[in-house]
Structure 1
Amino acid sequence: MYQRSTPRSPDAVDKPYRFLRLPPLDEAAIDVATLARELEAAAIPWTSSQWKWHMETRFCVLRAGPDEPYPGASLVTGTGVDKPILARLPRLRELLDHGLPAPARLAWLGLSPPGARIFLHRDNTHHWDEHHRVHLPLVTNPEARLCVSGGFVHLPAGSLWAFNNSVPHGAINAGAEARIHLMIDLAPSPAVSAWFEAGEPVQGERAPDLLAELTQDPLKLLARGQLSDLELVRRLLMQ
């Protein structure tokens, strides 16, 4: 795993699972067909990832911190700031505010085109240590899978999942269609804990060939145009 070592937060939450399939919530709030149509109508402003493990994917921040000093920095500069795109996504904003056991403090959309990989890494800021990560797949295909500690799982559209982002994890979309997930960070609370306690732990399946894909050094796969961006390369080398 090609990543600098960083200390964990002393307030890190316990995540005693690889994957956790969470109980369904309000079906009206999580109507993925309606949410997917809302995304299509909103013309999402996708941004190329600024993290070396995610360079084959794109993202759109919905709620996070201030936007400086580089695109996507808001994912590590704070929480609770709604981005302008949310004004064009009222159903999604309603879900973030009222459709979960606690309001989402940080939320973004992740787009994995066909063939895209997210190479193995650990989410290593204190915020990520101190929050639970929840995925809601909105658009997907059976060959799109997440990997946690070597176990692979396909997350069906409309299902809700937590996974342990404090251990090595990645993803691969080996299908012919794009994959779009809504990612949400939730602070610990009694309601969130009760929801998680009702979840079903899932270990995932072993897939040695796919795992080999995700264990590569992402910097060795950068395109020539990316290598010419010295500020980007400097930032990637620090990760």
Structure 2
Amino acid sequence: MIVCAKVTVFPEYALMLQEVKSASPHWDNHFNSGNYEGNWKVLPLRSIGGQNTIIPGLTANDIFADHPNLDMFPSIRKLLAAFQCTVKSVRLLNLAAGAVIKPHSDQELSFEQGEARLHIPLITNPDVAFYVQDERITMQPGECWYMNANLQHHVTNGGKTDRIHLVIDCEVNTWLRDLINSADYISRRPAYSQQQLLDMICELRNQSTLTANQLADEFEKQYDQYCPLDQILSFLQEIGLAYQLETIEEDTFLPGLKMRNGALVIDTNRLLYPGDVLHEAGHLACMPPGTRQNMNDKLEDCDMHRGGEMMAIAWSYAACIFLKIDPEIVFHPDGYKGAGQNLIQNFDAGNIIGLPLLQWYGMSYDKSTAAASGHQPFPHMISWTCLNQPFE
């Protein structure tokens, strides 16, 4: 499931901005008055039948047409003409300084369900906080972003200027699918947690129909991706890294996972990727004992922890090889800024990020050092946890 994507669309931003600033249109208050505080206004550019309505759509059979307001913005009309898909509602949305859009979802408005909402910021400021689920999306003026509006999202304009976005709803076809899948940046996450999948599989099996069993088969394929979790937890116990299974109420950087006083806290109902447990365990394992016991979620931005990230990458790859699990469980498409596959390829080619630091800590050796000392080289680990205190 795609959360958001920065797509390659190049609007004539300077011209659009000039047209927006010079126009004197009549803005209407957003129709969904219970979902915001402050001022949130709408200017329709394409609407149902081209009529003077601010509602983006009511049914799948709605026919959209250009609204007379579009005549004020030739550059936007030109952009829409270049879209090789069906364009539905098009609006300018103005969120005033200090205004808040409350958490809400726009049902069935997502790429996977056949309709995609694109945002192009025309006027914004650094204090606009746009969240989809627990992920903050920072959109720069003139960029084009797909946002999964079916997921819960909310916005706060904490700046001193209004925020104006061009918002375009489109039907997904081959052209739009290729555009989004080839985006410069894509944030993905599984549609369901491990527990949700298990519950749905059980319910579908109880129905015992052909269609239900076929759907259960598909969910079981997704569930199988979680199976390494028990193996990972047993491994952590064997090497002496502490973890605790409990409910996590707050949002965390990695859903269902955080560090607390040198131990991992894991919420299996919210955990999206079991491989994330192994990566975070690497952060703990690669730090000296005195440092490890004080590690919490908000790590200090310093050389030690920046180096710790590189060591955790190498450590978790070595753990995958040791446990005989697919490295893609850790280096999945939604992590490492989309570079997980590239990291695996580099490891396979012998280009090992983080190995010099592991060697400095006495945890693993490169080929030449290993040969001289009588040890096996990386990915073999001499010690799974750091026992030295090299920073003292």
Is 1:162 the equivalent of 2:146? Answer: yes
In structure 2, the CA distance between the partners of 1:55 and 1:103, relative to structure 1 (3 Å rule), is farther
Aligned-pair CA distance for 1:18: 1.7
The CA distance in 1 between the partners of 2:87 and 2:147, in whole Å, is: 16
Which aligned pairs between 1:70-85 and structure 2 lie closer than 5 A? 71-73=53-55, 75-76=57-58, 78-85=62-69
Partner of 1:11: none
Which aligned pairs between 1:26-41 and structure 2 lie closer than 5 A? 27=10, 30-41=11-22
In structure 2, the CA distance between the partners of 1:63 and 1:207, relative to structure 1 (3 Å rule), is farther
Aligned residue identity for 1:18? V
Is 1:46 the equivalent of 2:27? Answer: yes
Residues 163-216 of structure 1: per-residue CA shift (max 9 Å, x gap): 11111111111111111000011111111111111111247xx799xxxxxxxx
Q: How many residues are paired up?
A: 185
Gaps of 5+ in 1: 1-15, 209-239
Aligned-pair CA distance for 1:74: 5.2
The CA distance in 2 between the partners of 1:164 and 1:149, in whole Å, is: 10
TM-score (norm 1): 0.69
Aligned residue identity for 2:114? E
User: Is the CA contact (8 Å cut-off) linking 1:47 and 1:71 kept in structure 2?
Assistant: no
Secondary structure of the residue aligned to 1:105 is strand
Partner of 2:6: 21
The CA distance in 2 between the partners of 1:178 and 1:86, in whole Å, is: 21
Q: Higher helix proportion, which one? A: 2
Partner of 2:334: none
In structure 2, the CA distance between the partners of 1:95 and 1:176, relative to structure 1 (3 Å rule), is same
Partner of 1:237: none
Aligned-pair CA distance for 1:41: 2.1
Is 1:102 the equivalent of 2:88? Answer: no
In structure 2, the CA distance between the partners of 1:71 and 1:159, relative to structure 1 (3 Å rule), is same
The one of 67, 82, 99 equivalent to 1:116 is: 99
Give the percent of matched residue pairs that are identical in Structure 1 and Structure 2: 22
Aligned residue identity for 1:91? S
In structure 2, the CA distance between the partners of 1:207 and 1:181, relative to structure 1 (3 Å rule), is farther
The CA distance in 1 between the partners of 2:110 and 2:47, in whole Å, is: 11
Gaps of 5+ in 2: 189-250, 254-392
Aligned residue identity for 1:72? I
Which aligned pairs between 1:159-238 and structure 2 lie closer than 5 A? 159-199=143-183, 200-202=185-187
Partner of 2:234: none
User: Is the CA contact (8 Å cut-off) linking 2:5 and 2:187 kept in structure 1?
Assistant: yes
In structure 2, the CA distance between the partners of 1:142 and 1:74, relative to structure 1 (3 Å rule), is closer
User: Is the CA contact (8 Å cut-off) linking 1:80 and 1:105 kept in structure 2?
Assistant: yes
Aligned-pair CA distance for 1:75: 3.8
Partner of 1:4: none
Secondary structure of the residue aligned to 1:119 is strand
Secondary structure of the residue aligned to 1:34 is helix
TM-score (norm 2): 0.43
Greater Rg over alpha carbons, structure = 2
Is 1:62 the equivalent of 2:62? Answer: no
Aligned residue identity for 1:94? K
The CA distance in 1 between the partners of 2:117 and 2:56, in whole Å, is: 17
Residues 4-25 of structure 1: per-residue CA shift (max 9 Å, x gap): xxxxxxxxxxxx12221112x3
Aligned-pair CA distance for 1:152: 1.3
Residues 29-58 of structure 1: per-residue CA shift (max 9 Å, x gap): x12221011112221221111102145311
Which aligned pairs between 1:135-146 and structure 2 lie closer than 5 A? 135-146=119-130
User: Is the CA contact (8 Å cut-off) linking 1:122 and 1:165 kept in structure 2?
Assistant: yes
The CA distance in 2 between the partners of 1:193 and 1:132, in whole Å, is: 10
In structure 2, the CA distance between the partners of 1:42 and 1:76, relative to structure 1 (3 Å rule), is farther
User: Is the CA contact (8 Å cut-off) linking 2:50 and 2:67 kept in structure 1?
Assistant: no
Aligned residue identity for 1:64? S
Aligned-pair CA distance for 1:121: 0.7
Higher relative contact order (CA 8 A, sep 6+): 1
